[in-house]
Chains A and B, each alone.
Chain A
Amino acid sequence: MFRNVVSRLVTETFRFDRHVKRAAFRPSLTSARVPVRSLTDAKDEVQPPFDSSLLDFLVCPLSKKPLRYDANTNELINEELGIAYPIIDGIPNMIPQEARLLQKDTDASNPPAQ
Chain B
Amino acid sequence: MEEVDVEPTTTPIPGFDSNQKHLGFVWGPGDILVYETIYKASGGSAGGCPFVHEVRKDEDIYSPILRKLFNESHHIFVGLQRIREDLPSKNKKPQFVSISKNYRSVIRACMEELQQVAVSTQDAALATQYGNQVSILLAVELIWNLCEVLFIDAAPAGSLVLHLLDWVRLHKADVDEKAREVLASESPAEHQAYWDVVISYVLQGRMDEARQVLVKQATLQPAARAMFKLLDNLLMKMPIFNPGETQTLTEFDVKWRHWREEVDRCLQDQSFASNPHLEDICKILVGDEDVLLEHKELLSTWYHFLVTRLLFSHPTVKPTELHYYAQSSMHMFLDTRSVPEPLDSILLAAFEFDIHQVIKDCSIALNNWWFVGHLTDLLDHCKLLQSHNLHFGSNLREFLLLEYASGLFTHHSLWQLAVDYFDHCPEFGRVYLELQIERVPLDTERKALKVIRICEQRQMTEQVRSICKIMAKKALRNNRLGSALSWSIRAKDAAFATLISERFLQDYCAKGTFSDLDLIDNLGPAMLLSDRLTFLGKYREFHRLYGEKRFSDAAKLLLSLMTAKIAPRSFWMTLLTDALPLLEQKEVIFSADQTHELMFCLEELTSEKSVPNPDRPMQDEDIETTKIELLRLALARNLAMAIVKEGTVEV
| A and B are interacting partners | no
B residues neighboring A (CB under 8 Å): none
A residues neighboring B (CB under 8 Å): none
